[in-house]
């Protein structure tokens, strides 16, 4: 099953000859997300980014965190080409892997952290389940799985903009939509929900910790 995220629908190409794509949301959230990641990621090791999209996040984070090796991945060839083009000259980014979160096995056996930004609401629920299963298989005890994006939470009013976004996603594809954080946590077998950080524009950064 191919995740439909790949390169963001609002991504723009610089020119027909340039594979690099731009997603406007990246410029708005990358610094706030980096500030949170600094306290969640290990100081060194291998980070697998699932659904890397344009690759702009990968380049921004890898450049700011030189102790880490960044492994971007995406099921979309266009997304992988964009990521590899952006990553030229960044020594701690590996070539992007073809990886579909909903498919098993994954093309790598281990990582020290897994990051997924803005994927599970723009993909079928099977992609979220596959992400959780795959991360559990490749992460050692104590390693983080970090998710970023909009969620619905029990007892917390959902922002009107997020309700509108949820409706627009479901109109595009009934299998898409904002996920309840409680449902994601319940499906995260082998993980403990450790941190939920409020982010700008009504998003959350959610960190799960791999249990023994």
| 14, 42 contact by CB (below 8 A) | no
Q: Quick one: residue 55, left, alpha or beta (phi over 0 = left, psi -120 to 50 = alpha)? A: left
Number of structural domains in the chain: 1
22 within some domain: yes
- Note down pLDDT in tens along the chain; length 212 residues: 334 444 444 455 555 689 999 998 898 999 999 999 999 999 999 999 999 999 999 999 999 999 999 999 999 999 999 999 999 999 999 999 999 999 999 999 999 999 999 999 999 999 999 999 999 999 999 999 999 999 999 999 999 999 999 999 999 999 999 999 999 999 999 999 999 999 999 999 999 999 97
Flag whether 110 is in a domain: yes
Residue 2 lies in a domain: no
Q: What is the pLDDT of residue 17?
A: 84
Contact 68/47 with Cβ under 8 angstroms? yes
4 within domain boundaries = no
* Residue at 5 is within a domain: no
Please check whether residue 6 lies inside any domain of the structure: no
Q: What CATH code is carried by the domain that includes residue 32?
A: 3.40.50.150
Classify 14 as helix, strand or coil: strand
Which residue segment(s) compose the domain that 94 sits in?
Answer: 12-210
């Amino acid at each position: 099953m191919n995740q439909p995220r790949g390169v963001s629908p609002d991504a723009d190409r610089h020119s027909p000859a340039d594979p690099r794509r731009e997603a406007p949301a990246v410029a708005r959230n990358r610094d706030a997300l980096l500030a949170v990641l600094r306290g969640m990621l290990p100081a060194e090791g291998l980070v697998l980014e699932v659904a890397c999209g344009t690759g702009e996040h990968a380049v921004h984070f890898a450049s700011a965190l030189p102790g880490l090796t960044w492994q971007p991945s995406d099921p979309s060839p266009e997304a992988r080409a964009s990521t590899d083009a952006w990553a030229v000259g960044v020594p701690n980014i590996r070539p992007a892997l073809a990886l579909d979160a909903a498919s098993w096995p994954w093309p790598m056996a281990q990582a020290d952290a897994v990051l997924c930004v803005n994927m599970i609401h723009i993909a079928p629920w099977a992609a979220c389940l596959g992400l959780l299963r795959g991360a559990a298989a490749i992460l050692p005890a104590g390693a983080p799985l970090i998710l970023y994006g909009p969620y619905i939470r029990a007892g917390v009013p959902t922002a009107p903009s997020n309700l509108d976004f949820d409706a627009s996603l479901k109109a595009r594809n009934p299998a898409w939509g904002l996920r309840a954080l409680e449902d994601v946590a319940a499906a995260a077998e082998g993980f403990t929900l450790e941190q939920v950080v409020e982010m700008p524009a009504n998003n959350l950064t959610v960190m799960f910790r791999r249990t023994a």
